[in-house]
Amino acid sequence: MKAAIFYPPKKIKIEEIKTPEVKSKEVLVEIITAGICGSDVCFYKEGKIGNIIIKSPIILGHECSGRVAFSMSKKFTLGDRVVIEPGFPCRTCEFCKTGNYNLCRDMNFLGTYPKNGVFAEYVVSPEDCVFKIPDNVSFEEAVLAEPVAVAIHAVKRGKICLGETVAIIGSGPIGLITLQVARILGVSKIYVIDLEEFRLRKAISLGADVAINANKKDDIKEILKLTQNRGVDVAIEAVGNSITINKAIKMVRPGGRVVLIGTGVKYQLKINTSEISSKELDFLGVWRYLRNFPDAIRLIANKQINTREIITHKFLLGKIEEAMILTEKKNKVVKIIFLMKKSF
């Protein structure tokens, strides 16, 4: 099969490699579409994210949709249209046995060293990490089931309720999907903050009440003014750096919640812990997802989440390096996906 092999730093080659073998209770999925995640870009540019370092050539990518090409599972048959939940837990550790499998310390995650990912023609997955997609959901819509699952988990972690006010810092794919999930819950106001007008226009079209360009306005002062100096109930940080995390802390009301989705390149960040204490904030980390894929697929199928609007560019896999470079142009790019073939 053909695969995009990443040689750190900043080099990807399309090579012919052996198709992976399928074992009992596993499924071989033919990849039809795959999405570039911010983590893939970080790996490509830096060769690492935090303490996760790529030490040898690897296939990146973890967002995908496709067809079952071969099955050693009774749950799936040839041709089933599916998505893959890309984290394969050990199933035997304390966290797996208590239901918090996303915290498994022995997780095999597609496209994260040392596990090869989905920028290839075929991928093998355990049967319980494969989910069927309904006929009314296209492969292109389904490829974003993974970031939708992230957003659902983030909103659940933040315990967002009807009538609350929410600030979302960052209007990339995760931020734009999170605002849609929050809107479904009936929040009263959603404020979205970014540096790019292009992305902020997307946020308004997808349901944000107010879009704030932090290049043009003091976003903290603006949020406080719009909330009569109270602050928002929940601030969701979807960037992953010290500046935006500290902004989230200042934007949220006393007794409010800060939800961290963003994962930065740096392992350690400078955070204003005194304000977290003095405002008695709940500071909530988000690590991927936890039993959220069925809901993600349902929301896409019911047209409650618009994933098509988030996809701005499509490439064939052979243009992967061009696509990676294009992701830096945030004034015109939100989400890039790959089509493994010219038509399907």
- Predicted structure pTM score: 0.96
Residue 184 near residue 316, CB atoms below 8 Å: no
Query: CA-to-CA distance for 340 and 2, rounded, in angstroms?
Result: 10
Residue 163 near residue 306, CB atoms below 8 Å: no
- For the chain, which residues make up each domain, given as ranges? 2-144+307-339, 158-285
143 by DSSP, 3-state: which? coil
Mean pLDDT by 10 residues, the chain (344 residues): 94 96 98 96 90 91 98 98 98 97 97 96 98 98 98 98 97 98 97 98 98 98 98 96 95 98 70 93 96 98 97 96 94 95 55
Query: CA-to-CA distance for 85 and 121, rounded, in angstroms?
Result: 17
pLDDT at 343 (0 to 100): 46
Distances (CA, A) of 145 to 84, 270, 280, 294, 316: 9, 32, 34, 9, 20
Distances (CA, A) of 48 to 85, 132, 244, 262, 335: 22, 32, 21, 15, 21
Q: In this structure, which topology does domain 158-285 adopt according to CATH? A: Rossmann fold (3.40.50)
φ, ψ for residue 298 (rounded to 5)?
A: -65, -45
SS3 readout for 260-271: ECCCCCCCCCCC
Query: CA-to-CA distance for 299 and 16, rounded, in angstroms?
Result: 37
The alpha-helical segments, DSSP class H, found in 252-292 are 273-278
**For the domain bounded by 2-144+307-339, which CATH number is listed?**
3.90.180.10
pLDDT at 344 (0 to 100): 41
Residue 70 near residue 23, CB atoms below 8 Å: no
pLDDT at 35 (0 to 100): 98
